[in-house]
Amino acid sequence: MASPGGQGGGALSTRGGARRMKWALELSLGNTRTRGDRQGGQGDVVYPIGYSEKPVPDTSIQETDKNLVEKRCWDVALGPLKQIPMNLFIMYMSGNTISIFPIMMVCMMAWRPIQALMSMSATFKLLESSSQQWLQGLVYLVGNLLGSALAIYKCQSMGLLPTHSSDWLAFIEPPQRMEIMGGGMVL
């Protein structure tokens, strides 16, 4: 099961370059070149070829795997929510001035949830194997929405949203004149 170059590699090494061989077995002990790899205490223990020190996991399907899938899916679903504290911190750090870095941050913050929402179907496929698929999907959605709401709030606090009347000032047409008036000093 273990590869030839695995843990038993102490006795077995590939030395392609020097002797132009694909591989070679070194059966003699006390090879100084490989000593450094060995651990101090077990220096003299010799393992047979193919022996692995690690226990080999049991690959047959068991009950506990179901829980693992469940856990993994929850991880995916809760991902956006976990991002929020981090985003809040970044928001606080970047401040409200309009310059290149805060703008980049805001763009990233806004773009990521949008991207996630656009690829919703792919995420759902990922969650297909879970039993609580719908709940997880909902949590994922809420997390992303919260993320984008945060981005919008940031835009608002930076003054990037056209929410004030001054933002629409340029679109006001000059009023039409109802009366015609003229005259002046008597010539």
Partner 1 sequence: MAKLNLLWLKCIISFSAVQAVFEDQVGKFDWRQQYVGKVRFSHFDTHMQSSKKVLLATENNVFAALNTRTGELFWRHVDKTGPEGNIDAHLQHGQDAVLVVGNGRLLRSWDVNVGGLNWEVVLDSGRFQSACLVGQQGTAKYVAVLKKTTFSLHYMSNGHQKWIENLPESETVDYQAVYSGGNKDVYVLGVVPHSHIAVVVYSVDDGEIMKQTSVEAPWLSDIPTSCAVVGKGTLTCVDSTTMSLYTLDLHEQSQMTQIPLQSLGLEVAEGFHPSLVAHKPHPAHQPRSEFFLQLEADRYLLLQLNNGEITTLRDFKPAVLVSFATTGEKTVAAVMSPKNKTACIINLYNAETGRRLLDTTLISTVDPNGGKPERLYVQAFLKKDDSVGYRVMVQMEDHTLTFIQQPGRVMWTREEALSDVVTMEMVDLPLTGTQAELEGEFGKKADGLLSMVLKRLSSQLILLQAWVSHLWKLFYDARKPRSQVKNDITIENLSRDEFNLQKMMVMVTASGKLFGIDSKTGGILWKHYLENIPPNAAFKLMVQRTTAHFPHPPQCTLLIKDKDTGLATLHVFNPIFGKRSHVTPPALPQPILQSLLLPLMDQDYAKVLLLIDDQYKVSAFPSTKNVLQQLQEMASSIFFFLVDSTQGRLSGYRLRTDLSTEQIWEVVMPAEIQKIVSVRGKRPNEHVHSQGRVMGDRSVLYKYLNPNLLAVVTESTDLHHERSFIGILLIDGVTGRIIHEAVQRKAKGPVHVVHSENWVVYEYWSTKSRRNEFSVIELYEGMELYNSTVFSSLDRPHVPQVLQQSYIFPSSISTMEATLTEKGITSRHLLVGLPSGGILSLPKMFLDPRRPEIVTEQSREENLIPYAPELIIRTEWFINYNQTVSRVRGIYTAPSGLESTCLVVAYGLDIYQTRVYPSKQFDVLKDDYDYMLISSVLLALFFATMISKRLAEVKLLNRAWR
Residues near partner 1 (CB under 8 A) are: 159, 164-167, 169-170, 172-187
Question: How many Cβ atoms from other residues are within 10 Å of residue 27's Cβ?
Answer: 10
Tell me how far, at minimum, the Cβ of 187 lies from partner 1, in Å.
Answer: 4
Beta-bridge mates of residue 25: 12
The residue (of 40 and 171) whose beta carbon lies closer to partner 1 is 171
The residue (of 11 and 158) whose beta carbon lies closer to partner 1 is 158
CA dihedral over 13, 14, 15, 20, signed as positive or negative: positive
Tell me how far, at minimum, the Cβ of 171 lies from partner 1, in Å.
Answer: 10
The residue (of 11 and 160) whose beta carbon lies closer to partner 1 is 160
Interatomic CA distance for residues 155 and 163, integer angstroms: 11
DSSP structural state of residue 13: E
Interatomic CA distance for residues 111 and 115, integer angstroms: 6
Tell me how far, at minimum, the Cβ of 182 lies from partner 1, in Å.
Answer: 4
DSSP structural state of residue 161: S
Tell me how far, at minimum, the Cβ of 175 lies from partner 1, in Å.
Answer: 4
The residue (of 17 and 175) whose beta carbon lies closer to partner 1 is 175
